[in-house]
């Protein structure tokens, strides 16, 4: 079989498997088979990039980050619906329809609580995706839409032009996973799946959107050139035949039947993969819709029934504090079991100390509980009339409930965080960060190995990695003697990474890679760094008062001092390994924009910093040069407005004086052969069909 035929066959098989999994919820192959075939297709496309087509499953992971979204004028307006809140209002709606029509039929369907979008196809190929916006003008989110795997990229019937409307949402399972991850990182939680979906779809970097695993349900045919239909139910059946995941709907005749279906949907909402905030009732006949017409704001032929949030009283039994992997202390309230929106609730989020004080929640109080966005249980209010006389205000602990180290407030004041360098609650995060590529770069000792080391109590701090034996490592699942030898070799090699990487690996608050470089270049030894006062630290470029305070607090912690002592005992280098960087770009600030082809952004930044310069993310009057790649956007325009010199990649390379193997610094050589990585960007997860 030639490569073209093989690529076509792989695309057909993978797209069919994706459709069966993401749309029909009927997987036909294992994760392993899917990933193996996808990897083969990626290899072939790398060898023959001219054969890459829009519907290839490899094109769904997200492309180059955008600098802004372009506006899109909708060919057919995306109208909003009139809300109703009672069965009586549903009856009134049906009566109004009957006044102008001889016989009426209605489509009733769940109202997905997400973000409305329009998808446009030309000759059966996906062309563009846009948000609703104000109904007439939206934002072009095409690259992010491509990452939603349930959306077909090509259609069986090649109509000249097809536009459909759907609701993008974050599945409940993904929402819960994302919030757990955000909690572990000390980030604010999404209040509900809609907020999460909206924020994800409007990410400028499609790779972030791809990781969020968004989904869609198509609920309306906006435009179909070359096709005619008589009813809404007919259009939904047609869209399903074209591979779209469509909203489930029923066709009913009377107000009584409609209200019963609305009640049924409310009872079944917990079983749906998406969050719903109501039910939509609309005329099924397309000709009837034309007769009834629309107002300036919304169609007269449809309504949205909104369910009121279910609220119930319960009593606060206790308040518990959990410590996440990043050390953030998160309180939750334990209440007497109460049934809400189809599930039994026993706990509710309290977010932070400010939230507790604002609501004045005390142990023993009777509180009103509801599910925020029908998902997250939360305390709405306290019934002060039922407060016990001995109830006292609750205060968050001043020390970590896990390790006893002091806790501090984040710089924004929202969260409390444990300062313990050896806190057991943070051990997994600390270990994986310590061993990561940009820190101590211990290859072969990843998160799965760390889990086993922790479970078997072989390590309690990052320093314990250096005291592991071959027998201990070989005893781990899927390790083996050869893998154990390789891991030990990687651990041993990491001893000499130097002060710059060590400072980053220690996980000191606000000491990232850049600060680690700066501090190592300035102090040269850990002892000199540890002896520096806050005043001496703040005198260094890019080290502010807050960061200096975090550094001193970390250094003075008994847990930190114990960790450093163990690292010294293990023979870990505490000195800078390179001579200070050159000063060719000293005092200069560069801004990189557009798609660079000769350098990755990581490489270009390293080259600038190795020569004493600074790489910034925004253009200002202090910018010295802007380096512009392909498709440069707003930063290039701003540079023109401010009169900032703009360099092409070739001019930038010439300014560097040529980059050859003989002239590269040690830091530049370390970048060779490594993929670009921006720690602020979430990478897409491996594709999973299970």
Position 587 scores a pLDDT of: 85
**Which DSSP state fits 338?**
E
Residue burial 186-204, b: 16+ Cβ < 10 Å; e: rest:
beebbebbbbbbbebbebe
In the annotation, is 111 catalytic? yes
Residue 538's pLDDT is 93
Residue 678, judged by CB atoms within 10 A of its CB (0-12, 13-18, 19+), counts as middle
The CATH number of 71-306 is which of 1.10.260.30, 3.40.50.300, 3.10.20.810, 3.30.470.30? 3.30.470.30
Architecture of domain 3-60: Orthogonal Bundle (1.10)
The list of the chain residues with pLDDT below 50 reads 62, 65, 659-690
What is the per-residue pLDDT for 22? 56
Would you list the DSSP string of 449-502?
Answer: HHHHHHHTTS-SSGGGGGG--HHHHHTSTTTHHHHHHHHHHHHHHHTTS-HHHH
Question: CA end-to-end span of the chain, whole Å?
Answer: 30
Give pLDDT tens digits for 286-310. Answer: 999 999 999 877 899 999 998 877 7
Q: Are 266 and 164 in contact (CB under 8 A)?
A: no
CA distance 369 to 364: 14
CATH among 3.30.300.30, 1.10.150.20, 1.10.10.1800, 1.10.600.10 for 424-569: 1.10.150.20
- Tell me whether strands 625-628 and 589-593 are parallel, antiparallel or unpaired: parallel
**CATH of the structural domain 589-671, one choice from 3.30.465.10, 1.10.3720.10, 3.40.50.10190, 3.40.309.10:** 3.40.50.10190
**Helix, strand or coil for residue 388?**
coil
Instruction: Output the pLDDT for position 251.
Output: 96
Q: Which sequence spans correspond to the domains of the chain?
A: 3-60, 71-306, 311-386, 424-569, 589-671
119-144: b or e for each residue (b if 16 or more CB lie within 10 Å)?
A: bbbeebebebbbbbbeeeebbbbbbb
Locus of tokens 């490594």: 674
Residue that has been written with the tokens 């781990």 in this structure: 476
The CATH classification number of 311-386 equals: 2.40.50.140
d(C-alpha 658, C-alpha 321), whole Å? 56
pLDDT score at 291: 93
* pLDDT in the model for residue 333: 94
pTM of the predicted structure, to 2 decimals: 0.55
Neighbours of 648 (CB within 10 A): 12
User: Per DSSP, what are the bridge partners of residue 279?
Assistant: 110, 305
The 10s digit of each residue's pLDDT in 35-53 is 668 878 888 888 888 888 8
- Sheet with 625-628: strands ordered across: 614-616, 589-593, 625-628, 646-647
SS3 631: coil
Beta bridge pairs of residue 72 = 138
Of the candidates 658, 542, 652, 675, the residue with the CA atom closest to the CA atom of residue 591? 652
Question: With contact defined as beta carbons under 8 Å apart, do 546 and 582 qualify?
Answer: no
Q: Which of 4, 103, 111, 386 is catalytic?
A: 111
Inter-residue contact 110 to 276 (CB < 8 Å):
yes
């Amino acid at each position: 079989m030639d490569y073209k035929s093989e690529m076509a066959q792989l695309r057909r098989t993978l797209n069919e498997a994706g459709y069966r999994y993401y749309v029909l919820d009927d997987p036909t192959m294992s994760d392993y088979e899917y990933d193996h075939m996808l990897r083969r297709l990626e290899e072939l496309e790398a060898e023959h990039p001219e054969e890459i087509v829009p519907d290839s499953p490899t094109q769904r992971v997200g492309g180059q980050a955008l600098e802004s979204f372009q506006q899109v004028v909708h060919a057919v307006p995306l109208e909003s619906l009139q809300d109703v809140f009672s069965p009586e209002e549903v009856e009134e709606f049906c009566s109004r329809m009957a006044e102008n029509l001889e016989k009426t039929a209605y489509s009733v369907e769940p109202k997905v609580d997400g973000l409305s979008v329009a998808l446009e196809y030309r000759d059966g190929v996906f062309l563009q995706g846009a948000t609703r916006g104000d109904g007439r003008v939206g934002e072009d989110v095409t690259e992010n839409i491509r990452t939603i795997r349930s959306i077909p990229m090509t259609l069986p019937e090649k109509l000249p032009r097809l536009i459909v409307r759907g609701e993008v949402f974050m599945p409940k399972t993904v929402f819960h996973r994302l919030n757990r991850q955000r909690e572990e990182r000390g980030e604010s939680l999404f209040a509900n799946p809609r907020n999460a979906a909206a924020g994800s779809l409007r990410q400028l970097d499609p790779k972030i959107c791809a990781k969020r695993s968004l989904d869609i349900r198509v609920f309306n045919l906006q435009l179909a050139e070359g096709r005619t239909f008589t009813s809404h139910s007919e259009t939904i059946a047609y869209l399903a035949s074209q591979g779209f995941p469509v909203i489930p709907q029923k066709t009913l005749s009377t107000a009584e039947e409609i209200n019963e279906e609305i009640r049924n949907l409310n009872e079944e909402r917990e079983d749906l993969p998406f969050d719903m905030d109501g039910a939509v009732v609309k005329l099924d006949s397309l000709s009837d819709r034309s007769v009834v017409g629309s107002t300036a704001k919304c169609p007269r032929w449809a309504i949205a029934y909104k369910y009121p949030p279910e609220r119930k009283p319960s009593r606060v039994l206790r308040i518990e504090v959990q410590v996440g992997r990043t050390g953030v202390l998160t309180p939750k309230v334990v209440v007497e079991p109460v049934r809400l929106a189809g599930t039994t609730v026993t706990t509710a989020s309290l977010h932070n100390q400010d939230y507790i004080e604002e609501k004045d929640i005390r142990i023993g109080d009777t509180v009103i509980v509801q599910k925020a966005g029908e998902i997250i249980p939360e305390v709405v209010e306290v019934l002060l009339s039922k407060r016990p006389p001995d109830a006292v205000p609750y205060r968050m602990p001043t020390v970590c409930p896990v390790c006893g180290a002091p806790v501090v407030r984040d710089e924004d004041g929202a969260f409390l965080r444990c300062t313990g360098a050896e806190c057991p609650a943070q051990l997994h995060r600390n270990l994986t960060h310590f061993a990561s590529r940009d820190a101590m770069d211990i290859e072969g000792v990843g998160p799965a190995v760390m889990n086993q080391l922790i479970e078997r109590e072989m390590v309690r701090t990052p320093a314990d990695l250096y005291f592991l034996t071959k027998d201990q490592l070989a005893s781990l699942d899927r390790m083996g003697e050869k893998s154990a030898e390789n891991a030990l070799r990687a651990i041993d090699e990491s001893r000499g990474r130097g002060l710059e990487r060590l400072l980053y690996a220690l996980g000191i608050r606000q000491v990232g890679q850049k600060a680690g470089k700066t501090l190592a270049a300035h102090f040269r030894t850990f002892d000199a760094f540890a002896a520096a006062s806050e005043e001496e630290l703040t005198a260094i470029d890019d080290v502010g008062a807050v960061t200096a305070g975090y550094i001193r607090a970390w250094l003075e912690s008994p847990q930190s001092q114990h960790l450093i002592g163990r690292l010294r005992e293990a023979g870990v280098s505490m000195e800078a390994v390179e001579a200070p960087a050159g000063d060719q770009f000293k005092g200069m600030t560069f801004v990189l924009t557009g798609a660079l082809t000769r350098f990755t952004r990581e490489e270009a930044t390293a080259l600038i910093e190795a020569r004493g310069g600074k790489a910034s993310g925004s253009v200002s009057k202090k910018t010295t040069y802007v380096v512009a790649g392909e498709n440069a956007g707003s930063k290039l325009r701003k540079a023109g407005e401010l009169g900032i010199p703009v360099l092409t990649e070739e001019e930038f390379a010439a300014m560097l004086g040529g980059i050859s193997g003989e002239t590269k610094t040690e830091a530049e050589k370390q970048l060779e052969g490594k993929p670009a990585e921006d720690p602020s960007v979430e990478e897409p997860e491996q594709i999973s069909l299970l």
